[in-house]
Amino acid sequence: MLDALLEPWREPILRDALLEVVFVGLACGALGVWVVLLGRSYSAESLAHGMFPGLVVAALLGVPLVLGGAVGLIVAALAIAAGARLRSLGSNTAVAVVITSLLGIGTVFALSADSPPGLQNLLFGDVLATSPSDLALAAALAAAALIGSWLAYPYLLTYAFDPSAARSLGARPRVAEAAFALLLTAAVLVGVQALGNLLVVAALIGPAVAARTFTRRVPPLIAAASALGVACGVGGLYLSYYADVAAGAAIAGLLVTTAAIAALAKARLPTSDI
Amino acid sequence: MIDARGLAIGYRGGPTVLTDVTFSVMPGERVGVLGPNGGGKTTLMRALLGELESRAGTFTIEGRQGTVPQTERSRLDYPVSALDVVLMGALGRGPWWRRPGRAERALAQAALERVGLEDRARETFGELSGGQRQRVLVARALMQDADIVLFDEPFTGLDTPSAARLTALIDALAAEGRSVLVSTHDVGQARAWDHVLCLNGRMIEFGPPEHVLTETVLAETYEHAVIRIPDGWPRGVTQSAGASARA
């Protein structure tokens, strides 16, 4: 049994992948809690999709993905702001139109026959193709997301609980929103390498939704979501190794399954038991 | 201290919803804000909190503001304890990166004791009763050491003992020299305070209750939909659709 547990980690590729999923689990698990508490699941998904063309262009030009993601987000934000000003669209429809268009444009680039190999990994991820520089970047971004979350904690806690009173309490809504967007961007960039642009939302939402069912305070919720994120990442790698399935899909599958089981368990238990 | 002169307020991209508001609240004064639903009470509160900008006129606020919002709008599913909520009032006390420590926790516990909830500190906010949630939010304003405390319809949904306890707390806050602004539908309650501000899309009247709470002013404030209820009826059971008031 112990041998079976240790066997995958004898491969250097899987050891790197293990580190990568730990970074993803910690960063996305912690930030996912704020995504759920602020009710921003759709925004988080839009953010991930909106930065996609920027990521593709960055990969094509050989510049850091962070830079591409940031530029992609600025372009998406400007396009959404412009679309929202059109009376025939409105803000919600503008988000949907702009994000879908950007995802489509990015996909055309990524899946083009002339594109260098590996670009499609930005869509579905390839945690087994993690390079040392990818790992270093993921570690730095995860550290930034976690330290930033710790610093922003009282402000996000106050803003998410009582947006109307936040300003008078010293948690300026615009600053809280900007901090949340920055931290979420860092977490998404960590997750894109492992799970890709389409599956990264599972790492954000799944652990937080599952942990929400058995925790009653935010600090344990963050700890539990991060732990579940890491556990599903490690479990996904085992699944991939022994069942010979794609690692990203296995991790995403475990994440959503965990969330679904937790939600079902909560629905079946009396409220006082949770 | 609050001093407003010819204030006009509107929402971004929308029409002006409140005009010609001129009033002042000095330290230690309790001011009741009356008006029908949609009359501008919450809009005024949001402007005083800096959420909405004035479109005309000026207003000066001197002192730290605390707010006690309607608990019906609170997030009851939010995973925080009563103590966590009170500690939110400590945010502005130190450098932005410093987390509340033992000293702030002791102050928060003392604030909960002040509102009679010291034994509920660890309970989840959403599992407390409406009156208890109101008092937790008052404790949060105490934690802020707010000079001005804004209550947005705090008596809505409270039973008689809870309403009496809240009234006593409001009186105590004013006795400490804090300015207290309370939006309410309860005309009888407002009669006991220092000033009354009547709103209905504009300021109808402002002044001492004996001058403001006349049939003419109330009829204009509530557009003639005033229900007269005999003395002795229970408090807090009269409101619906924002067009009725105790007179």
DSSP B147-188: SEEEEESTTTT--HHHHHHHHHHHHHHHHTT-EEEEEES-HH
Query: For all residues of chain A together, what is the average pLDDT?
Result: 88
A162 neighbourhood in chain B, CB within 8 Å:
69, 74-75, 88
> Kind of pairing, strands B179-184 and B148-152?
parallel
Of A249-258, A259-268, B10-19, highest mean pLDDT: A249-258
Contact A161 B79 (CB under 8 A): no
On whether the CB atoms of residues B50 and B213 are closer than 8 A, the answer is no
| DSSP strands (E only) in chain B | 2-10, 16-25, 30-34, 54-61, 65-68, 148-152, 179-184, 195-199, 203-207
Asked if residue B228 is part of any domain, the answer here is: no
**Higher local confidence (pLDDT), B71 or A35:** A35
pTM: 0.85
CATH number, domain of B9, equals 3.40.50.300
Q: What is the mean pLDDT of chain B?
A: 87
**Interchain CB distance below 8 Å, A155 and B92:** no
pLDDT at B2: 93
Flag whether B216 is in a domain: yes
Over residues B104-135, the pLDDT tens digits come to 999 999 999 999 999 999 999 999 998 899 99
| Cα–Cα dist B29/B51, whole Å | 23
What pLDDT shows up at residue A274?
A: 41
Least confident range from A43-52, A230-239, B136-145, B228-237: namely B228-237
What pLDDT is recorded for position A63?
Answer: 81
Number of domains in chain A: 1
The lowest-confidence range among A44-48, A150-154, B37-41 is A44-48
Highest average pLDDT, of A7-11, A175-179, B30-34, B163-167, comes from B30-34
Residue A208 in this model has a pLDDT that exceeds 50: yes
Where residue A184 sits, what CATH number does that domain have?
1.10.3470.10
Which ipTM did the prediction report? 0.84
Mean pLDDT over residues A44-72, rounded? 84
In a domain, B232, yes or no: no
**Whether the predicted pLDDT of B75 surpasses 60:** yes
Contacts of B91 in chain A (CB under 8 A): 154-155, 158, 169-171
User: For testing the chain A interface, which of B80, B105, B142, B179 should be mutated: the one with the most A CBs within 10 Å?
Assistant: B80
Nearest to B69 among A162, A212, A215 (CB): A162
Portion of chain A with pLDDT greater than 70, in percent? 96
Domain extent for A201: 2-273
Contact call for B80 and A160, based on CB within 8 A: no
Note whether A157 contacts B88, CB cutoff 8 Å. Answer: yes
Pull the structure tokens for residue A6.
């240790």
What is the model's pLDDT at position B245?
39
Is the per-residue pLDDT at B243 higher than 50? no
Q: Do the Cβ atoms of A161 and B124 come within 8 Å?
A: no
Q: Do A154 and B99 touch (CB under 8 A)?
A: yes
Q: Are A255 and A24 contacting, i.e. CB atoms less than 8 angstroms apart?
A: no
| Residue B99 CA, distance from chain mean position | 28
Distances in Å between the Cα of B103 and the Cα atoms of B90, B106, B110 are 10, 5, 11
Note whether A266 contacts B: Cβ–Cβ < 8 A: no
Structural domain contains residue B9: yes
Going by pLDDT thresholds of 50, 70 and 90, the confidence category of residue B8 is very high
The pLDDT of residue B228 is 65
Asked whether the predicted pLDDT for residue A258 surpasses 50, the reply is yes
Q: Which residues of B touch A263 (CB under 8 A)?
A: none
For residue B188, the enclosing domain spans 2-221
Least confident of A15-24, A54-63, B100-109, B118-127: A54-63
**At which residue do the structure tokens 């429809």 appear?**
A93
pLDDT(B103) > 50: yes
- Once rounded to an integer, what is the mean pLDDT over residues B61-88? 89
CB contact under 8 A, A161 and B89: no
At A240 the pLDDT is: 94
Asked if residues B69 and A162 have their Cβ atoms less than 8 Å apart, the reply is: yes
pLDDT for the residue numbered B241: 35
In a domain, B226, yes or no: no
More confident residue, A23 or A112: A23
Instruction: Count up the domains in chain B and report the number.
Output: 1
Residues A90-106 have a mean pLDDT of: 83
Question: So what's the pLDDT on residue B33?
Answer: 96
Q: Which of A37, A149, A162 to mutate to test the interface with B (most CBs of B within 10 A)?
A: A162
Query: pLDDT for A130-184, tens place per residue?
Result: 888 889 989 999 999 999 999 999 999 999 999 888 988 989 888 998 899 889 9
In a domain, B73, yes or no: yes
Q: What per-residue confidence (pLDDT) applies to A87? A: 65
pLDDT at residue number B225: 64
Distance between CA atoms of B184 and B47, rounded to whole angstroms?
17
Residues with Cβ within 8 Å of A265's Cβ and at least 6 positions away in sequence, in order, are A213
Q: How confident is the model at residue A271 (pLDDT cuts 50, 70, 90)?
A: low
Residue B110 lies in a domain: yes
List the single residue in A155, A158, A164 with the smallest CB-CB distance to B69.
A164
C-alpha torsion angle, residues A228, A233, A238, A240 (rounded to 10)? 140
